[in-house]
Structure 1
Amino acid sequence: MQKTALATLFAMLLAQPVAGLENDYPTEARADYVFACMAVNGNSRSALSRCACSIDVIASIIPFEQYVEAETVLSLRLIGGERVGMMRTAPMANQLVDALRRAQAEAELLCF
């Protein structure tokens, strides 16, 4: 009986990190995405559901760190000047943005 209880406890402890990886996007980041999405798609209950679905799909495809990096590249691309010029042409920056765009396209297909 005690062995079974220990085995169950051990299995539960091993499962914890996996559950954490599924939801590695902070609530604030998810809410920020949903607010911006709703501003574009209308401030309705339907838009709320679709936008929440969208960030959930994106979160299931790319990790939060990569999402932040891609969003940073996109923000920097809006600024003019030589210093941010490399953000427009750097292969790594383009790969980050491409991955985010693919995740957003998948989310649009599934949620909208």
Structure 2
Amino acid sequence: FIRGDLTAPMDDKPFGGEDVGSYLILVKDHKVFIAAKFDGTVNEGMVLEGWLVDTDTGYKLSTGQLVDNRQIFKQIIVNPYIYDLYVVTEEPMNDVDPNANVPVGGVMLSNPFGQ
């Protein structure tokens, strides 16, 4: 497993600034478990959404909404190790755009991720 701090966006990256939360990611075989907590505030009319990001292709897999600034995500993923980042974005409530919106926190995932 890996765990650590989520950090605010810095420069052109969705991470690298001040601490804004924490995360834990556990992978056993193809079963992925993510627990995340965002310590910041959410703008009115917005919600938080988690994402696993493959920076090589730009593909983003939504891990769903953070409820009360927390996320518990469990899923079987064919190859979870292609993802390099875990990012939290602020999205309009009832968003119809499937793309990630403005990042508010993130982390570069360490080995064995990013393969």
TM-score, normalising length from structure 1?
Answer: 0.24
Higher helix proportion: 1
Higher strand proportion: 2
TM-score, normalising length from structure 2?
Answer: 0.23
